[in-house]
Amino acid sequence: MHIVPVLQPGSPQAQVIAHLFRAILIACGVIMAVVTGAIVYSLMHFRSRPGAPEPPQILGSKPLEILWTVVPILVVVWMFMLTARASRESDPTPAVLDPDLRVIGHQWWWEALYPKSSAVTANEIHIPTGQRLLVQVDSADVIHDFWVPELGRKMDMIPGHPNYIWLEATQPGTYRGACAEYCGAQHAWMRIMVVADPPVAFDSWVRHQAQPAPNTVSKHAEGAALFQQLTCANCHAIRGSSATNQFAPDLTHLAERRTLAAGVLSNTLPNLVEWLRSPQTLKPGCLMPNLQLTPTQASALADYLESLK
Ligand code: CUA
């Protein structure tokens, strides 16, 4: 992970933004140096000295007035042109908005849908390297903001008003992002992970994610029954079972994700048991209720969920 991710672009779109940032930073630095230098020089050179004559006054000098009107205008026009070019290159303007990926912000997790393959996942989204995906971002509740600094610009997720961004990664790797618009108590724990895979690996990942859950019910009968009997199935979907609700993260292939609860915990069996038993301690305010599970119930449920590869 990079310390200043915005300056370590991992996509052509982020590259353009990083270039713009550097160009403006350097230009402003030069302007600051010139202005500060002029002030310091004037303070030293024209300080009042007892008995010294008054220096020549140049109030109303036409050449100077023209100079300091024209130069700032040129600087602003140059910055405007750079910004307009960066906006065009980093922002989608396709005539037909046919997204490759839809990301929906929820309090406080990310739903990811791949319309072209009907794969659904949460919080960990995979993309193929070297391909520019058109991503539609939307929200299910309040305003969130999708931001993976190494890969591109921020984009607000506004309920009922889809926005679009490009998502691309040049190199395979894991790129971290976070919600960038304050959206409630667990805003800081609304982390997203973008995993860029080589195209062949991505294709097999997305094909697998589109499939129903593996049938592990016979091996984990108790956990599978609890999932349907308790209120889990009222919110979560496990495709291939009778649980089809989409209010909470789709758990069809939960065992393959690296984290739980949008980045709060790494996805291990003991952590999942912990999460099932005390979601409100680990992520206070989240919509996952405490079901008052006994240790035996929690571990049966976790065993079943961790079998969903
Ligand atoms: Cu979602 Cu902040």
Ligand 1 in contact with 106 (CB < 6 A)?
Answer: no
- Please enumerate in sequence order all residues whose Cβ is within 8 A of that of 21, keeping only pairs 6 or more positions apart, or say none: 6, 7
- State the pLDDT confidence band at 1, using cuts at 50, 70 and 90: low
Residue 123 alpha carbon to ligand 1 centre in Å: 13
C-alpha–C-alpha distance, residues 19 and 14, integer Å: 9
Average pLDDT (166-189) is 95
In this prediction the pTM is 0.86
Ligand 1 in contact with 105 (CB < 6 A)?
Answer: yes
Residue 66 alpha carbon to ligand 1 centre in Å: 48
Structure tokens at 166: 């490009």
* Atom 1 of ligand 1, nearest CA residue: 144
Average pLDDT (32-36) is 96
Residue 144 alpha carbon to ligand 1 centre in Å: 4
Strand partners for 139: 105
C-alpha–C-alpha distance, residues 290 and 288, integer Å: 7
- Average pLDDT over all residues of the chain: 92
pLDDT at 94: 67
Ligand 1 in contact with 182 (CB < 6 A)?
Answer: yes
pLDDT tens, 193-234? 999 999 999 999 999 999 999 888 889 989 999 999 888 999
Strand partners for 156: 145
Q: Is the peptide bond before 108 cis (omega within 30 degrees of 0)?
A: yes
C-alpha–C-alpha distance, residues 271 and 308, integer Å: 16
Ligand 1 in contact with 239 (CB < 6 A)?
Answer: no
Ligand 1 in contact with 109 (CB < 6 A)?
Answer: no
pLDDT at 7: 78
Average pLDDT (121-137) is 95
Ligand 1 in contact with 152 (CB < 6 A)?
Answer: no
- 93 has pLDDT over 80: no
Which CA distances in Å does 211 have to 208, 232, 238, 260, 307?
Answer: 5, 21, 11, 21, 15
Kind plus residue range of the DSSP H or E element containing 228 = helix 221-229
Average pLDDT (253-266) is 93
Ligand 1 in contact with 104 (CB < 6 A)?
Answer: no
Which atom of ligand 1 is nearest the CA belonging to 188?
2
Residue 172 alpha carbon to ligand 1 centre in Å: 26
Its sign, for the CA torsion 288, 294, 295, 301, is: negative
Q: Are 16 and 89 in contact (CB under 8 A)?
A: yes
pLDDT tens, 35-72? 999 999 999 988 888 888 887 777 888 998 999 899 99
Residue 119 alpha carbon to ligand 1 centre in Å: 24
Ligand 1 in contact with 190 (CB < 6 A)?
Answer: yes
Ligand 1 in contact with 181 (CB < 6 A)?
Answer: yes
pLDDT at 106: 96
- 92 has pLDDT over 80: no
- Please enumerate in sequence order all residues whose Cβ is within 8 A of that of 191, keeping only pairs 6 or more positions apart, or say none: 123, 176, 177, 178, 179, 259, 262, 263
Which atom of ligand 1 is nearest the CA belonging to 190?
1
Nearest Cα to 276, choosing from 292, 258, 259, 257?
292
Could you give the percent of the chain with pLDDT greater than 90? Answer: 77
Residue 130 alpha carbon to ligand 1 centre in Å: 28
In this structure, the strands spanning 124-128 and 191-197 are: parallel
Q: Is 190 helix (H, G, I), strand (E, B) or coil?
A: coil
C-alpha–C-alpha distance, residues 195 and 283, integer Å: 24
- State the pLDDT confidence band at 279, using cuts at 50, 70 and 90: very high
C-alpha–C-alpha distance, residues 135 and 97, integer Å: 9
pLDDT at 115: 94
C-alpha–C-alpha distance, residues 145 and 181, integer Å: 5
Nearest Cα to 100, choosing from 167, 147, 33, 154?
167
pLDDT at 264: 92
pLDDT at 2: 62
Which atom of ligand 1 is nearest the CA belonging to 157?
1
In this structure, the strands spanning 101-106 and 109-114 are: antiparallel
Q: How is 20-57 classified by DSSP, letter by letter?
A: HHHHHHHHHHHHHHHHHHHHHHHHHHT---TTPPPPPP
